[in-house]
Amino acid sequence: MTAAAAIHPRPTAVETLLDREQERFRLTHLKSEAAWKTGQEHFLYGAPSHWMRRWAGGFPVYAAEAKGAHIRDIDGHDYVDFCLGDTGGMCGHGPEAVTRAAARQLERGATMMLPTEDSLWVGAELTRRFGLPYWTFTTSATDANRGGIRIARMVTGRAKVLVFSGCYHGGVEEAHVELRDGHVGLRNMIHPNGVDHSAVSKVVEFNDIGALERALAPGDVACVLTEPLMTNFGTIPATEGFHAALREVTRRTGTLLIIDETHTISCGPGGYTALHGLAPDMLVAGKAIAGGIPAGIFGVTEEIAERLWALVPKVNPRIRQSAHLGIGGTLAGNALTVAVMRAVLEGVLTEANYEKMAANAARLAEAARGVIKASGLPWHVTRVGARAEIMFMPNPPKNGAEVRAARQGDLETLLHAFYMNEGILVTPFHTMFLMCPATSAEDVDRHTEVFARFVGLVRDAGVV
Ligand SMILES: Cc1ncc(COP(=O)(O)O)c(C=O)c1O
């Protein structure tokens, strides 16, 4: 290799294609590009949330409006939205039941530090769906996880939280870890912040019951926090018998089990938990539960409630300023959010809509499998409920290590940039598709056609 080539290595075939797609994107999204430049003057990371910068085109499109399963950007492009706000928009954009309930409640008071009668209906419905008797509301799933962890620490007197490598549970410090050479390391791309994670976290591979048993044996873990199947590092299904063993070993070691259904609520009306008869000590959800209005919820069993009330009594009329729990926030359970949650549970995330969403996810997965099979590529598609995922490996992974070993980040970025140029939005982190009630068979077929062209493109370029 010459010195010049070492300093300026030739771009790989994927990089050449990506440069081309990003230039195509730039030239057709001039208004978004200009908005993004102006955003640099006002925002720490160019946009109101740093997550918004992580799109494959090189900058985000600026949304003009969204309806149902479609988004229109300020340059006038239409997208089939399979990202759906990374699940926050799983009800679809602007469903009538939600907009009507929100408008009505805004006129009657958005937030009052008072419960409304809607909360009674919502509480009963959450118990009917998920099986847990007592609920608390927060303003995000992150906050619900933090609340669950705090309660687990209160009732067990233990400090540590165990998570599975490759997990994501929001801005929960204890979960910002992954397994590195058998030890607790910082999660992929998380910047260090001075916290000694080995003091508060344990981490093992998903589906590895032996490692879990060893990690819980010392009796210093307050809770295991897990999704019922992993959705944040590619889709990693739970293997046969995993959940039964997880429940058994957590019970045996006095460790609480928190199941985070924030994404897997896409499995059905009561999430994966109801579908598979899981029995967590606590259950967390958020995002879609209030139609995109900030909300988080967590439920606890009778036993956890009793243990908590022994520490912090339920009601004591004589002592108004009794201990608070150190969880939640001023706006948690506000009247607006609760009214919308009711509208969502009554009229949007219904059995019938879940069936439609699952059918469209199955249609997408089946068609994508067909494209993959015809091309002979060693890729696979997983479909769980209303969600599907294309992964660049032949079989579903068992754990985060397998995902990491097979990951082709540059090819994934190219696929996502191509999608955006062709009017398809997927979650910007990996190739995951979510259906909403308004997603149509035509929307799905649009993806199939675009995906087939992408496969042709990378095949012709000799990239795969
Ligand atoms: C499983 C899971 N839990 C919790 C969260 C945090 O949700 P939020 O960012 O709305 O607090 C996420 C976010 O992606 C998630 O995937």
Q: What is the CATH number of the domain that holds 233?
A: 3.40.640.10
**CA 170 to ligand 1: nearest atom:** 6
Q: Is the dihedral of CA 332, 338, 340, 342 positive or negative?
A: positive
Measured between alpha carbons, how far is 99 from 441 in angstroms, rounded to an integer? 25
Is there a single domain that holds both residue 232 and residue 136? yes
- In this predicted model, what pLDDT tens digit does every residue of 217-241 receive, in sequence order? 999 999 999 999 999 999 999 999 9
Verify whether ligand 1 is closer than 6 Å to residue 141 (CB atom). yes
**CA 142 to ligand 1: nearest atom:** 11
Verify whether ligand 1 is closer than 6 Å to residue 166 (CB atom). no
The domain of 130 spans 96-347
Verify whether ligand 1 is closer than 6 Å to residue 138 (CB atom). no
**CA 264 to ligand 1: nearest atom:** 1
Verify whether ligand 1 is closer than 6 Å to residue 402 (CB atom). no
Answer for the pair 456, 415: CB distance below 8 angstroms, yes or no.
Answer: no
Q: Whose CA is nearest to atom 14 of ligand 1?
A: 170
Is there a single domain that holds both residue 191 and residue 135? yes
pLDDT of residue 319: 72
Q: Whose CA is nearest to atom 15 of ligand 1?
A: 169
User: Considering its fold, how many domains does the chain have in total?
Assistant: 2
- pTM for the predicted model, two decimal places: 0.97
Residues in a beta bridge with 300: 134, 282
**CA 294 to ligand 1: nearest atom:** 10
Is there a single domain that holds both residue 264 and residue 275? yes
Domain boundary among 283, 317, 347: 347
CA of 169 to the centre of ligand 1 (A): 5
Task: Tell me the residue type at 424.
Answer: I
Question: What is the SS3 assignment for 24?
Answer: helix
Estimate the share of the chain in helix, then strand, then coil, as percent rounded to the nearest 5: 45, 15, 40
Verify whether ligand 1 is closer than 6 Å to residue 227 (CB atom). yes
Q: What is the CATH number of the domain that holds 358?
A: 3.90.1150.10
* 121, two tokens: 């209906």
Domain boundary among 347, 378, 411: 347
Domain boundary among 331, 347, 363: 347
Verify whether ligand 1 is closer than 6 Å to residue 261 (CB atom). no
Flag residues of the chain having pLDDT under 70. 1-8, 320-323
Is there a single domain that holds both residue 165 and residue 182? yes
pLDDT of residue 246: 98
User: Given ligand 1 and candidates 138, 169, 236, which is best to mutate, with the most ligand atoms within 8 Å of its CB?
Assistant: 169
**CA 261 to ligand 1: nearest atom:** 1
pLDDT of residue 1: 46
- In this predicted model, what pLDDT tens digit does every residue of 10-56 receive, in sequence order? 789 999 999 999 999 999 999 999 999 999 999 999 999 999 998 99
Is there a single domain that holds both residue 267 and residue 402? no
Verify whether ligand 1 is closer than 6 Å to residue 232 (CB atom). yes
Is there a single domain that holds both residue 46 and residue 136? no
DSSP summary character for residue 188: T
